[in-house]
Amino acid sequence: METDSLFYRLFSEKPKLLFELLGEKIPRTSYTFGSHEIKQTSLRADGILLPRSPKSPIVFVEAQGYLDRKNEVYPSFFAKIFMYLRDQTPVNDWRAVMLFTKRKFDPGVPIHYQDFLITERLQLVYLDEMASAIEDQSLEVSLIQLFTMKRPLAFDRARAILAQAETENLDTIEQQRVLEWIVTVFVHKFPKLSREEIKTMLGTKAELKKTRFYQEIEEEVGEKFLSEAVPMGLQAGLSVAEIAKRFNVSVKRIQEIAKEYKAKD
């Protein structure tokens, strides 16, 4: 699962999060978050906040968690925006937000688009430069900051978030959603950690098998998923036993897939 897809998943659940990251007052009108296939191109605008009110702006969002050495991130982003505006001809005004997990991943706004910075139609967010005091933030902002933290600090923050969720007396479903997000981020950031290791480091008694992430993994552990995951694990230097433990599959089954993979090389 890519970093940007994790961002978009959280934005779809909590559209107001984007305005919190910008340090803005939450708008009265409600927004929905989704993607839009652009006609006659291979482009997909993955992050679009659409307001109910025609008086509120459409917000285009792009999340970046790595260095784009080709410097295509801004041209691609604006190409999607302008193609969307051409296809949909909305009555709403628009604005754009580029969200970087770290400032060093920002290649710099090309001269062709710098007017959008001046007019503040384009806004930049760097998660690694945001205030880190958990008591001054919503749960969602704290959750999204987990992307920027190294392992010891990330687990310290995660335990604080779980404690905050209990303190705020969130219902069981919402507490489970918070745990799901933490687990999903950690599996993405620390792929060599097992489910039990994550559980131990979080200090939680919750059964992680019940989280949506692991349920999805179990549902996907079919022939197609394993045929792609096993070669990737081997290339990353994981042993057959480690891969079997990681996906909760028998060592024998992983050995069979590894043998098939080597035969194709």
- Asked if residue 181 is part of any domain, the answer here is no
- How big is the chain, counted in residues? 265
DSSP 66: S
For residue 129 the two structure tokens come to 């430069």
- Say which residues have a Cβ less than 8 Å from residue 85's Cβ, sequence separation at least 6: 94
Q: Give how many domains the chain has, as a whole number.
A: 2
Q: What is the pLDDT along the chain (265 residues), one digit of tens a residue?
A: 456 677 888 888 888 888 988 888 889 898 988 877 766 555 566 789 999 999 999 999 998 888 888 889 999 999 999 999 998 999 999 999 999 989 999 999 999 999 999 999 999 999 888 866 555 677 788 888 888 888 888 888 888 888 888 777 777 777 777 887 888 788 778 878 876 787 778 876 555 455 554 455 445 445 566 776 788 778 778 888 888 887 777 888 888 888 877 766 5
- Asked if residue 209 is part of any domain, the answer here is no
| Contact predicate 98/62, CB 8 Å | yes
User: Can you give the CATH number for the domain in which 228 is found?
Assistant: 1.10.10
Whether pTM > 0.85 for this model: the answer is no
Which structural domain, as residue segments, surrounds residue 42?
Answer: 1-130
User: Which pLDDT value is given to residue 55?
Assistant: 94
Residue 115's Cβ-count burial label (10 Å; 0-12, 13-18, 19+) is exposed
Q: Give the phi and the psi of residue 84 in degrees, each rounded to 5.
A: -60, -45
- Asked if residue 142 is part of any domain, the answer here is no
- Say which residues have a Cβ less than 8 Å from residue 206's Cβ, sequence separation at least 6: 176, 179, 199
